[in-house]
Structure 1
Amino acid sequence: MVVNFLLGVVKLIGGIVGNSFALIADSVNSIGDVITTVIVLFALRVAQMPPDEEHPYGHTRAEAIAASNVALLVIVSALFVAWEAVQRIGVGHAIPATWTLWIAGSNVLIKEALYQYKVRIGRRTNSAAIIANAWDHRSDALCSLAVLIGLGAIRFGGPSLMWADEAASLVVAAAIVWSATQLFRASASELMDVQANPDLVQQIHQQSLTVPGVKDVETLWVRKSGLEYFADIHIEVDPQMSVAEGHQIGHHVKDHLLEQFATLRDVLVHLEPHGHAQLHKQQAASAAQHDSAK
């Protein structure tokens, strides 16, 4: 956050003094990152709050809510920058100073370093907000590269390539909109309770079958909420066993899964008599054939 703030201030001053709207556009990007980081930090703190009477499932969705709102804010700011760049095309202005190239070039290296650092943390903690924030750094690095190319074209091409500054600004705006749209899609998908990664679902399925007494897994739903997951699983057990015995197996499945998967917040286990699902499918198929014959 501190690095982004300093970069934003330096690029803003450099863009104003050095006559580069592309640097000003890039400064808006960095200052927007500061706001994004503040919101993500607050959301992560809220997400870690324990469940209460009003929120029995916890507060983990705060991360996805924050991410989606941040994405919309970033998109609006990018569209504003793009509009300003379009307005400036064809309008004469001074050639940007040579030292603005150094600001743009340094920003490329710093942003790429931030991306490498943050994406490792995001993958380790499985945080969608942090990974999205990391990719925002990568897009910023590419934006700065576009600014560097645009400024270089003006410096070496002269007034005839003055439009390159605004063109670089439009590239920056397009990259911001693209990354923000990806962030919004990911966060909105999480709010819609999309099924978790197939690999994780398969691992949970396999671990459930290792619990003694579990004959099969009929249904398994796993949804991501913040940094954690909630699982709903229907296991098949011997239809002749007592309710107490089936209840005990259900507890063993829940305890085993929570022990094996640190990211699981809770597991809801439902019992089904073994063979019931297959019988139900056969009855449904027979009914369908009967209706078709009619």
Structure 2
Amino acid sequence: MSTLYQEVTRAAAFGLLVNLLLGTVKLIGGIIGNSFALIADAVNSIGDVVTTIAVLFALRVAQRPADAEHPYGHTRAEGIAATNVALLVIISALLVGWEAIQRITVPHAIPPVWTLWIAGANMLIKEGLYQYKIRVGKRTGSAAIIANAWDHRSDAFCSLAVLIGLGAVRFGRESLFWADDVASLVVVAAIVWTGVQLFRSSANELMDAQADPEFVKQIERIALNTPGVEEVETLWVRKSGLEFFADIHIEVDQHLSVAEGHRIGHEVKDRLVAGFPNLRDVLVHLEPFPHTHVQGNDADDSRGDRRRTVLVTNVTAPLRDGSKPENELRLQTNETQNGGTTDV
């Protein structure tokens, strides 16, 4: 197991144990103390436990080496697990919210004062988990752990809402019996929002969305600083689990030998892999410099195929059938990104 996966796995396992303990305490406290807000918060923690188990399992699968059926490895296992877990979290939260809405107009017993202590302790512990995981996430470059850290910060704010709701019920007596259920709805809203964000992030990963712009700029900067690299023509970076794959087109002196160009390409790859521990592989493609572009419409290189029109004038050679050609011949070409080739 690589150092990256070891540290991330350790952080995830620690969070699992803490969430399991907190979820159990809050669930028991909410049932005994008649606080639906605590029960909702317990569901949140239990959802975090399920999420973490899925992440740990996915981390185990993601570390399997590439094989004939999976030449790019198994790193997407984490993204697949995350989308399923996000949907489960959203559905669970909506069920809790529906129950809270049904209870909100029905008077019920006032929670005991010790439920306030549970909510307060949970808030402090969750904030501590946030501080720990955000440091691990930034150090390892793990987007999963960073997202998990912000989930803990969201939980801390949820606990603050529960604390306020319980305090209002406790000290406002019967007139504010509904405050506990309102607090649980705040928790539900936060859980749903977090679930939607996690699902969106995981779905983007599975659809090969471009990585964070700042990360892409860092990769481009290192490539440009490599001796022999004149320009970076195209750079695509996609996330796959805890790791990234990069495809980069660099421009080198067109008079270089194939061997020299190959050496420069390898140096670019070696520098990038050494500079970013979470960059699993880099595919380097060479382009001649200066790069000759066909005259036509300007287009962003990152948008795939570009359709261009080339005008060929004063064509005077007779055609095969003996007829005379038109004075102006219009050729439509497709210029692809791969290898800079042009098919007519």
**Matches of 1:221 and 1:72 in 2, distance apart?**
29
> Shift of the alpha carbon at 1:242?
3.2
2:248 equivalent in structure 1: 233
Matched, 1:284 2:296: yes
Count, aligned residues: 289
Query: Of the candidates 111, 121, 124, which is equivalent to residue 106 of structure 1?
Result: 121
2:90 maps to a residue whose letter is I
**Matches of 1:153 and 1:209 in 2, distance apart?**
60
SS at match of 1:158: helix
Matched, 1:273 2:288: yes
1:48 equivalent in structure 2: 63
1:154 equivalent in structure 2: 169
Indicate conservation of the 8 Å contact 2:169/2:177, yes or no.
yes
Structure with more helix by fraction:
1
Deviations 1:26-83 (A, max 9, x none): 1111111111111111111211221111111011111222222211111111101000
Indicate conservation of the 8 Å contact 1:95/1:162, yes or no.
yes
Query: Of the candidates 138, 143, 147, which is equivalent to residue 158 of structure 2?
Result: 143
Indicate conservation of the 8 Å contact 2:107/2:178, yes or no.
no
1:76-155 alignment runs, 5 A limit: 76-155=91-170
1:61 maps to a residue whose letter is R
SS at match of 2:293: helix
SS at match of 1:90: coil
SS at match of 1:214: coil
Greater shift after overlay, 122-131 or 244-253?
A: 244-253
Indicate conservation of the 8 Å contact 1:125/1:227, yes or no.
no
Deviations 1:133-191 (A, max 9, x none): 22221111111111111111111111111110110110110011111111112222222
Deviations 1:82-134 (A, max 9, x none): 00000111112111112111111111111111111122112212222212222
2:143 maps to a residue whose letter is A
TM-score (norm 2): 0.79
Q: Which runs of 5+ in 1 are unaligned?
A: none
Percent identity reads: 73
Over 3 Å counting, the alpha-carbon distance change for 1:75 and 1:204 in structure 2 is same
> Shift of the alpha carbon at 1:198?
2.1
Matched, 1:183 2:198: yes
SS at match of 2:236: strand
Indicate conservation of the 8 Å contact 1:190/1:225, yes or no.
yes
Over 3 Å counting, the alpha-carbon distance change for 1:233 and 1:104 in structure 2 is same
1:207 equivalent in structure 2: 222
2:132 maps to a residue whose letter is Y
SS at match of 2:246: strand
1:284 maps to a residue whose letter is G
Q: Which has more radius of gyration?
A: 2
1:31 maps to a residue whose letter is I
Query: Of the candidates 28, 42, 58, which is equivalent to residue 27 of structure 1?
Result: 42
Structure with more strand by fraction:
2
**Matches of 1:271 and 1:95 in 2, distance apart?**
71
Of structures 1 and 2, the one with the larger relative CO (CA 8 A, separation 6+) is 1
1:3-22 alignment runs, 5 A limit: 3-22=18-37
TM-score (norm 1): 0.91
RMSD: 2.1
**Matches of 1:91 and 1:250 in 2, distance apart?**
70
Query: Of the candidates 234, 258, 267, which is equivalent to residue 252 of structure 1?
Result: 267
1:262 equivalent in structure 2: 277
